[in-house]
Amino acid sequence: MVSWYKKLIFAAVAAIVGVATVLTVMGGIKISDTYMKMVQEELAENMTETMSYFKP
What are the pLDDT digits (tens) for 43-56? Answer: 888 888 777 777 66
3-state SS class at 1: coil
Cα–Cα dist 2/46, whole Å: 62
Report pLDDT digits (tens) over 9-55.
999 999 999 998 888 888 777 877 888 888 888 888 888 877 777 76
Cα–Cα dist 24/30, whole Å: 10
CA nearest to 43, candidates 51, 31, 54: 51
CA-based max dimension of the chain: 83
Question: Per the confidence metrics, is the pTM higher than 0.75?
Answer: no
Cα–Cα dist 22/25, whole Å: 5
Q: What is the reported pLDDT for 10?
A: 92
